[in-house]
Structure 1
Amino acid sequence: MGRREELAALGRLCAEHRLVSLVGPAGAGKTRLAVQHVSKRADQVWWTALAPAPEVAQAIYHAVGAHPLPNRSVRDAVIAEIEQHRRPLLVLDNCEHVLAEVADVVSELLACCPRLRVLVTSREPLRLAGEQVFALGELELPPVGASLAEALRYDAVLLFGDRAVSVDRSFEVDASNIADVVAVCRSLDGMPLAIELAARRITVLSPADILARLGDRLGLLTAGPRASDDRHRTLRAAIGWSYDLLSEAEQSACRRLAVLGVPFDLGVASRICDVEDALELLTSLEQKSLLVVERASGTTTFRQLESIRLYCRERAVEHGEISLVADRVVDWVCSLVEPEISSFFASPSVVLRLDRNIGLLDLAVTRSAEVGDWPRHALAIVATAWTSTPRGPRGAPTELLHRALSQPLPPPYRSVLTVLAAIHHRVRGGWHVTRTFAQESLAIERADASRPGTLARALEVLASAEAHTGNPELAWQLYDEAVELLRFSGEKLARGVLLNSYGWTLLQHGEADLAAPLVRESLTLVRLLGLPHQLNPVLHTAGAIALARKSYPEAVDLFRESLEVGSEHPMDQFYDLEGLALGLVGVGSDDERALSLLTAASAVRTRYDFRAEPYWQDLLDEARSVCRTRITAGRLRAAESTGERMSLSQAVSYALTTMPIAEDDDGVISERELHVATLVAEGLTNRQIGQRLGISPHTVARHVTHARTKLGLRSRAQLAVWAGRHTP
């Protein structure tokens, strides 16, 4: 069922190359795809099932119907039989347990039989010269929240429905259960065997019941057909077959990495597996279809399919490795954070490492608290505060910060936590609480006086609090002291961030001309040395200065740039949406778009209790009033409704789209969505598009869905047609 694109691609590959290995994880459907491929061939095909075969050459001998030759070997007899056919194809199914022997035999057969072609199915390739590897992964999955009509266009959902009906003729995938069916398929990573076994439970469980029990999927998914071989009767057996073929080191790695439960990078894997460099280990597991490699934004991470992870985690429990792995995660987090806490803030490379492995931080926080290691607990919280995800704001939760501060801590650790607590309350408008925490951090730093970076950090936060609690003169003194500390410290990026804070605070007190040169210098330094999320606030301040000077086109350009450079972390960008809206209102070019952006940003502020400074809030209120006087009542409500419905990432995409792609389409799509649409029009699969763009297939699917939704298109085919009409 399905796999049409894969079937066509496999056919092209087999037509061009003599040796093709069809590889994939347990239950991906390798054998079925191979069967479907060879059923379309008119030439001689020999099928050799190697799962039960004790000796490879002998199994091939019987499969090809060879005859014994006097004083000649079995292999000679096989070669003689093959040579009698014009375009023979030999299929060797399930080779992973006899890989070396298969490689030896295949190498000889290909050398002696120039017309022979070989198709291998295995969980890892043969690694022979000239071998072409065709990786078979999960079925394409519908997005969360897909409608019934949309979901039924995806092979995973169709497979679930077909197999459920095969055991219960009364079952139907309909509007009442589609959300649960989609969730089941997504939870099972789109793997055909797992979906089939889940669907067979429909005789006694509803889709909602199946979904609720997937935490114990290895116990639940055990009802394979009696005609199946033992490896495919249960999900546990299918995964266990692969696990048992691993070396001791590979088994250990699988178990320990399964405890993580989240994607991880090479450095983390090396620490968890207790090896200097885990590259070869991870490469081997990936080739055995036990790891998934994901590449995005120039970085590589690894993950296990959830069913494989749960199986390996069971083995980790049996080996008593859960606490061991948790302790090594704490070690890894602390090794990154501790060298940085004496600086103004963490270096960009450390923040990127933590962002890439953000899922590990909760484990480090929990484990360090569990064993009462409060200094390392503090470091884990600091790591949390430095990171961000596309769905959540940067910073540690209030209760986590306050609870940690109630524990005994070394002064440097307490200082960094108190300043983080001050920053946490600053973005929520709690200026008096901000001032209290910042004063404590400053007292610790002045008592030590050996860490200019952290002293400047405490001064900066306290200065901003003093400016907002009625003492701006003291604020300017504190800022000047901090700037002087960093003048010769070598922390140029820290100086850039500090100057921006100084400029933003001056601007709010009506000093745009004093702020401008500080922000220009800040922009130069942060552009050169900083991360996108560090550039966002500087561009924002520069845009706000342009607004104050009524240079509205310049402001629009600056806020647009800020949105573009930080698009991977939209949670850093609600301020930029507001700034762009203010610029648009000033220009008078697009009041409806401006109001939608203001509404979307306001929803973020409400959700996370981010309160605008009085200066900025006055600008926002004035802009809304202007929009309401210039937009008709009907269009006013429509603009507000658009903003209310958009997620933050959708609002960023909307903000960056200056006009519809085509005059006859009401929808607007981002440049990335347009690029994806053109590749869909070329006939590429989500996996192929992901490989070309360096993003995951799931991210491609999301871009496709967003583009179709915005353009009002019902299918992938319609999107392809649309892209063909609207791109050169």
Structure 2
Amino acid sequence: MDTFIGRREELAALARLGADHRLVSLVGPAGSGKTRLAVQHAGKRADQVWWTPLVPASDVIQAIYHAVGAHPLPNRSVRDAVIAEIDRHRRPLLVLDNCEHLLADVADVVSELLARCPRLRVLATSREPLRLAGEQVFALGELGLPPVGSDVAEALRYDAVLLFRDRAVSVDRSFEVDSANVADVVAVCRSLDGMPLAIELAARRSTVLSPADVLARLGDRLALLTAGPRASDDRHRTLRAAIEWSYDLLSDDEQAACRRLAVLGVPFDLDVASAVCGVPDALDLLTSLEQKSLLVVERAAGHTTFRQLESIRLYCHERAVEHGDVSLVADRVVDWVCSVVEPEISSFLPAPPVVLRLDRNIGLVELAVNRTAETGDWARHALTVVATAWTSNPRGPRGAATELLHRALSQPLPPPYRSVLTVLAAVHHRVRGGWHVTRTFAQESLSIERADASRPGTLARALEVLASAEAHTGNPELAWQHFDEAVELLRSCDDKLARGVLLNSYGWTLLQHGEAELAAPLVRESLTLMRLLGPPHLLNTALHTAGAIALARKSFPEAVDLFRESLEVGSEHPMDQFYDLEGLALGLVGVGSDDERALSLLTSASVVRTRYDFRAEPYWQNLLDEARSVCRSRITAGRLRAAESTGERMSLPQAISYALTTRPDAEDDDAVISARELHVATLVAEGLTNRQIGQRLGISPHTVARHVTHARAKLGLRSRAQLAVWAGRNTP
């Protein structure tokens, strides 16, 4: 057998569990290394160990009989003979390897053996537990995976990379993980979910393929990952065979669920799984598949989702194609998305739980958009585009793409669907400064709503967007009339969250027309409602407007506090916050405390605006231009270039983190550390290691160490602990 790589923590934990409990089931998905770990565990025992391979067996007690070397007893059963042999030993361990195809029989035999042999301990390896009283389940998952961007030293600290290197060297002695291939090796291991069998089979291709070549072929991994060692049983010689073994043991309903869930290609929750599997409640199905190690459960922010390991998903997707499940699933996903969206289209804006539900399933929304376009189902296509416009992606801007909105609007649609799409298109162009296009779309939505007169929420929304467009295209008096009408409509339907959004829009528009004092009470009420009811991205907007009013009143410290709060509450979606970076920069310039930081923040936000074509309103753009001019007049040439360069290089999350730190106090300006060094120092103060900081910032641990060293030298500190203390005192 090949050398055993890694799993030190798992081996120690298994030893502790085995010492305290008589029955331990080692469970995990195909290719996770259950048998290898059991071999290592058994090999460390000084007591009697019997290894019982059950793959070729059809009779459990007969397999155990031969494994323990029992002898026939006159007029006694085979079980009695096994028990007699077991009782001869002081502290025996019986290992039952690969129980999944004989699970009921194994459970029956083990239950009796444990009851009649008080010194016996049993270790079972299986894709699912035996479900016996007193059983301790030890779930075996993926090997440790390095973060993207790891250098060689960092990557080789992880078991997945160590295993790849060991198995590659076993077939090609010249192989090494180096700076030229480390990114590809890491990508291969991550793509294979850290599963040992898949990594081993991939590494053995090193005789003819480079890691980059292996990575490029992983889309067809079930064909690529074959030809394991000849000593392996047939299930472990190809990845396909290992997965097929698990799939074939499933019931018809479980197989159908595996196939249909594989079509999704993204994590899913119970609600989605029920819709896709065509059952009222898929809880029992998901529970069974998770217990059989065919689903991975993930929990975050109180929400549970499920996913298939990618290799399992690809196998099941092949089966889905064979069974004609792909179109069925796509249609069921469309049904699900439309059922979530349609009840909300008559509201001023969708309820936050609905948006959150769609956010969590953005991949399904994309699938539904493509499916309805492919089938020409334009009415439901409109609803899927609405869902896209309501959802957010932390890596990009909110809302649907321009082309998607315009294509949907080019089709014949029911009036309510067309109205909600046109107002969303108007909002889309408003963010990009296209005020005349915004006005055109908003007018169309308003005319549809006026004709129907039964949806006060959508009528108020059309009025709000049109009002902002009228104000920017030369008719502010009409704008105030539209805003006032919308306020009355929402008062009658008592939608407090919608009222908060509307009042903020009204206040922001008034502010841009020099009416800060008229705007202030509206925004104050909006902010109260948003603090009470609003999700972070809506609270962001109210805090931003409140901060802008503080700027207009020359209350710069208050503005800084408001923009800082906005950055803090909205950190889950950085794309909402480029406006807040600008606001904070304006406040800092007004205070006169940190022009370099202000210029870096202005530059970072400008990069986002350019990338996504987000154009500032003329009022706001004038403030930004003035602030840049002030900064450039007060900063020396060298520091000016450094500040702008810092802003250009930072990602948006990094810029937000930088914005929320304070400038260190120092008598000598030359001793002040750089923005990146300050950022690293704040993370050191949080107790993060260099590796963790590197993962957070997307840089190597070696680079982190260099920043730590430079920061200590500039500040005259002798240790990392002193740097942590300094950062703790100099950051909020």
Normalising to structure 2: TM-score of the pair? 0.91
Q: 2:76 aligns with which of 58, 72, 92?
A: 72
Q: 1:250 to 1:669 in 2, by over 3 A?
A: farther
For residue 350 of structure 1, report the CA deviation from its aligned partner. 0.8
Q: 2:525 aligns with which of 521, 527, 538?
A: 521
Match of 1:201 in 2: 205
Q: 1:233 to 1:701 in 2, by over 3 A?
A: farther
Give the conservation status (yes or no) of the 8 Å contact 2:24–2:135: yes
Give the conservation status (yes or no) of the 8 Å contact 1:23–1:124: yes
Match of 1:395 in 2: 399
CA offsets, 1:6-36, max 9 Å, x none? 2222223223322222211111111112222
Match of 1:59 in 2: 63
Q: 2:496 aligns with which of 492, 498, 516?
A: 492
Q: Which moved more, 1:340-349 or 1:584-593?
A: 584-593
Q: 1:163 aligns with which of 151, 162, 167?
A: 167
Q: Alignment partner of 1:300: what SS?
A: strand
Q: 2:567 aligns with which of 563, 580, 592?
A: 563
For residue 166 of structure 1, report the CA deviation from its aligned partner. 1.3
Aligned mates of 1:722, 1:74 — CA distance in 2: 67
Gaps of 5+ in 1: 687-698, 716-720
Q: 1:189 to 1:581 in 2, by over 3 A?
A: same
Match of 2:705 in 1: 712
Aligned mates of 1:115, 1:200 — CA distance in 2: 43
Match of 1:428 in 2: 432
Give the conservation status (yes or no) of the 8 Å contact 2:604–2:655: yes
2:29 aligned with 1:25: yes
Q: 1:364 aligns with which of 346, 362, 368?
A: 368
Q: 1:72 to 1:562 in 2, by over 3 A?
A: farther
Q: What is the one-letter code of the residue matched to 1:204? A: V
Q: What is the one-letter code of the residue matched to 1:584? A: L
CA offsets, 1:365-391, max 9 Å, x none? 111111111010000000000001111
Aligned mates of 1:351, 1:184 — CA distance in 2: 34
Aligned mates of 1:364, 1:321 — CA distance in 2: 15
2:120 aligned with 1:116: yes
Give the conservation status (yes or no) of the 8 Å contact 2:149–2:700: no
Q: Alignment partner of 1:483: what SS?
A: helix
2:476 aligned with 1:501: no
Q: 1:222 aligns with which of 207, 216, 226?
A: 226
Normalising to structure 1: TM-score of the pair? 0.91
CA offsets, 1:435-470, max 9 Å, x none? 111111111111111111001000100111111112
Q: 1:656 to 1:121 in 2, by over 3 A?
A: farther
Aligned mates of 2:309, 2:699 — CA distance in 1: 25
Q: 1:243 to 1:397 in 2, by over 3 A?
A: same
Give the conservation status (yes or no) of the 8 Å contact 2:683–2:693: no
Gaps of 5+ in 2: 665-671, 709-718
Give the conservation status (yes or no) of the 8 Å contact 2:333–2:367: yes
Aligned mates of 1:231, 1:723 — CA distance in 2: 52
2:400 aligned with 1:379: no
Q: What is the one-letter code of the residue matched to 1:176? A: A
Give the conservation status (yes or no) of the 8 Å contact 2:685–2:724: no
CA offsets, 1:190-243, max 9 Å, x none? 111111111112222222222221111111111211111110111110100000
For residue 282 of structure 1, report the CA deviation from its aligned partner. 0.7
Aligned mates of 1:334, 1:171 — CA distance in 2: 53
2:142 aligned with 1:141: no
For residue 659 of structure 1, report the CA deviation from its aligned partner. 7.0
Q: What is the one-letter code of the residue matched to 1:244? A: D
2:328 aligned with 1:324: yes
Give the conservation status (yes or no) of the 8 Å contact 1:445–1:451: yes
Aligned mates of 1:35, 1:714 — CA distance in 2: 45
Matches within 5 A, 1:452-471: 452-471=456-475
CA offsets, 1:607-665, max 9 Å, x none? 111111111122222222333333343333333222222222222233334478xx999
For residue 701 of structure 1, report the CA deviation from its aligned partner. 9.6
Aligned mates of 1:479, 1:380 — CA distance in 2: 29
Aligned mates of 1:142, 1:9 — CA distance in 2: 22
Give the conservation status (yes or no) of the 8 Å contact 1:673–1:704: no
Match of 1:448 in 2: 452
2:692 aligned with 1:668: no
Aligned mates of 2:136, 2:724 — CA distance in 1: 36
For residue 81 of structure 1, report the CA deviation from its aligned partner. 2.8
2:487 aligned with 1:483: yes
For residue 667 of structure 1, report the CA deviation from its aligned partner. 4.7
Give the conservation status (yes or no) of the 8 Å contact 2:470–2:479: yes
Matches within 5 A, 1:5-44: 5-44=9-48
Aligned mates of 1:371, 1:626 — CA distance in 2: 56
Aligned mates of 1:443, 1:622 — CA distance in 2: 40
For residue 472 of structure 1, report the CA deviation from its aligned partner. 1.2
Q: Alignment partner of 1:488: what SS?
A: helix
Give the conservation status (yes or no) of the 8 Å contact 1:435–1:462: yes
Q: What is the one-letter code of the residue matched to 1:547? A: L
Aligned mates of 1:141, 1:239 — CA distance in 2: 22
Q: 1:413 aligns with which of 417, 423, 442?
A: 417
Q: Alignment partner of 2:679: what SS?
A: coil
Aligned mates of 2:358, 2:495 — CA distance in 1: 21
Q: 1:585 to 1:526 in 2, by over 3 A?
A: same
For residue 584 of structure 1, report the CA deviation from its aligned partner. 2.6
Q: 1:80 to 1:596 in 2, by over 3 A?
A: farther
Matches within 5 A, 1:120-135: 120-135=124-139
2:621 aligned with 1:628: no
Q: Which moved more, 1:501-510 or 1:564-573?
A: 564-573
For residue 700 of structure 1, report the CA deviation from its aligned partner. 11
Aligned mates of 1:414, 1:34 — CA distance in 2: 62
Give the number of aligned pairs: 704
Q: Alignment partner of 1:712: what SS?
A: helix
Q: Which moved more, 1:700-709 or 1:112-121?
A: 700-709
CA offsets, 1:388-424, max 9 Å, x none? 1111111100011111111111111111111111111
For residue 363 of structure 1, report the CA deviation from its aligned partner. 0.9
Q: 1:295 aligns with which of 291, 299, 311?
A: 299
Q: Which moved more, 1:109-118 or 1:283-292?
A: 109-118
Aligned mates of 1:637, 1:67 — CA distance in 2: 86
Aligned mates of 2:575, 2:637 — CA distance in 1: 31
What percentage of residue pairs aligned between the two structures are identical? 83
For residue 358 of structure 1, report the CA deviation from its aligned partner. 0.6
CA offsets, 1:39-96, max 9 Å, x none? 2222222222111122222222222223333333333333333333333222221111
Aligned mates of 2:476, 2:343 — CA distance in 1: 34
Match of 1:312 in 2: 316
Q: Which moved more, 1:449-458 or 1:39-48?
A: 39-48
Q: 1:53 to 1:569 in 2, by over 3 A?
A: same
Q: 1:107 to 1:307 in 2, by over 3 A?
A: same
Matches within 5 A, 1:158-307: 158-307=162-311
